[in-house]
Amino acid sequence: MNIEEYNKAVDMHSDGVYRFILKNIRNDEKAKDIVQDTFVKLWVNAGDVNYQKVKSYIFTAAYHTMIDVIRKEKRMTDFENVNEEKYSHSKQYTDLSDILNEALKQLNDVQRSVIMLRDYEGYSYQEIGEITGLSESQVKVYIFRARVTLKNYIGSMDAVL
């Protein structure tokens, strides 16, 4: 795609993609940012994008950018609304291995096995799959869930140390 085609694509599709994003996230400023990021991606990849398929590329890129923004916002927490008691405790531990062993007891057998193989033994996802008979994607899911459980059980490292 050349510069004239890029400019024509911006003129033809900017309003439509803006309306699409605005309907989904209902925030004018964020929608404008997402559309701008989308057209930046189009400019960067202009040489690889076929002008006949530019509308599809623009809407796909805008959708993925919007999903990234939504996921990023989900991870952010309003610190005024955090329950401090959930993330802190008054007990003082002196042995970190006792804490980790107790946390590992909270996991089911499969989660404990894959976490031990990945984080303690250093096996790759594929190797863990071969060892346990699970698919690579199942291994990733079990590891993710185990880490979430451990994080929720242990809390922050500052509370532990």
**CATH code for position 129:** 1.10.10.10
Q: Is the pLDDT of residue 15 over 70?
A: yes
* 104 domain residue, yes or no: yes
pTM: 0.48
Among residues 45, 75, 105, the one where a domain terminates is: 75
Alpha carbon distance 39, 125 (integer Å): 36
101, 49: one domain: no
pLDDT tens digits, residue range 97-129?
777 888 888 888 888 888 888 887 788 899 888
**Domain region containing 134:** 90-160
Chain-centre distance of CA 111, in angstroms? 21
Task: Report pLDDT for 161.
Answer: 56
71, 112: one domain: no
pLDDT tens digits, residue range 87-99?
665 555 557 777 7
In whole numbers, what is the pLDDT of the chain averaged over residues? 84
Task: Report whether 107 contacts 115 (CB < 8 A).
Answer: yes
Dihedral sign for Cα 146, 149, 155, 161, please: negative
